[in-house]
Amino acid sequence: MEQSFNTPLKEFLSGYSIEVTPRSANKIECFADVLPENTRVYIAQINIDDIPEMIVTAKRLKDEGFKVMPHFPARMIKNHAVLNDLISMYQNEAGVDEALLLAGGLPSPAGDYNSSMQLIESGLFDKAGFKRLHVAGHPEGNKDIDPDGSNKNLSEALSWKQEFSNRTDASMAITTQFCFDANVVKKWADTIKDSGIDLPIHIGIAGPAKLQTLLKFSIECGVGASMKVLTKRARDITKLLLPYKPTQILSDLANYRTQDSSFNIEQVHFFPLGGVKQAAEFVEKFSSPNS
């Protein structure tokens, strides 16, 4: 039997966000039946040609009463004019005024942009009146950005974004890749805080899913040391066929925040690798008064 969520964890899960793709969104008949009102929903762009479906998904979510935050992957954007058109389409057709800016998964840029910093420097989001900009965080590093395995480039980029936040009115936060070990997350969060980064962290958490699914996505996304949580589970035949649920990491992080008021993780962001409904039901079950 799974433990009930204590008060710190209920508070930690309050206001969670979640990520969809146009394809996964099409499987949901009515988001209002699945997600709490006003939930922030990120829309992930997987391919360069996904924009028409992204716009349709953004408009649908906005019309259903949700905050909408589409991905803007720099390496998939050809040039300044294309970026300007994308912002205009999201704004005019779907009423979007939030964005997650990231480098993107391509090994090399499709055009003029290589990093989220270049997107910010374009000035187009400010000109369009975007109210909130999130940037990517990587608790376990990113070999695409730091091929030598260090965190040098990542650290310099976060420092630049912190400085940008300090000198502008932009509401910013760091939305991270998912991770499975709370100790890894805490060490990273403390390290960037000690380096002067005080942007709020929205910690990425993999939602309930089959173990094989999580291992597949973890390898594809470059999740590193914390994968030992999954591989250890895979060696236990009694747990191999049971779906993974992120109860332990969430409980640990909630307890860290209770013990340290300066702990800089503000909220949870779910990657619903096992399905949007499954992730939402997981939160609902364990955050209900009777759990």
**44-91 pLDDT, tens digit each:** 998 888 999 999 999 999 999 999 999 999 999 999 999 999 999 999
pLDDT recorded at residue 106: 81
Joined together, the tokens standing for residue 219 give 């390898």
Q: How confident is the model at residue 214 (pLDDT cuts 50, 70, 90)?
A: confident
21: three-class secondary structure by DSSP: coil
Q: In the predicted model, is pLDDT for residue 143 greater than 50?
A: yes
Query: Does residue 230 contact residue 218 with C-beta atoms inside 8 Å?
Result: yes
Q: What is the pLDDT of residues 227-263, one digit of tens each?
A: 666 666 656 555 555 678 999 999 999 999 999 988 9
pLDDT recorded at residue 69: 98
Say what the pTM is: 0.89
Query: Does residue 88 contact residue 128 with C-beta atoms inside 8 Å?
Result: yes
Q: In the predicted model, is pLDDT for residue 178 greater than 70?
A: yes
> Which residue in 257, 252, 246, 249 sits closest to 190, CA to CA?
257
Of the two residues 1 and 214, the one the predictor is more confident about is 214
Share of the chain above pLDDT 90, in %: 69
Sign of CA dihedral 36, 250, 98, 280: negative
pLDDT recorded at residue 151: 75
Joined together, the tokens standing for residue 124 give 């187009």
Measured CA to CA, the distance from residue 120 to residue 263 in angstroms comes to 27
Q: In the predicted model, is pLDDT for residue 146 greater than 70?
A: no
Angle value at C-alpha 191, between 221 and 40, nearest 5 degrees? 55
Domain at 7-286, CATH class = alpha beta
Of the two residues 216 and 161, the one the predictor is more confident about is 161
Joined together, the tokens standing for residue 279 give 């992730």
Q: How confident is the model at residue 197 (pLDDT cuts 50, 70, 90)?
A: very high
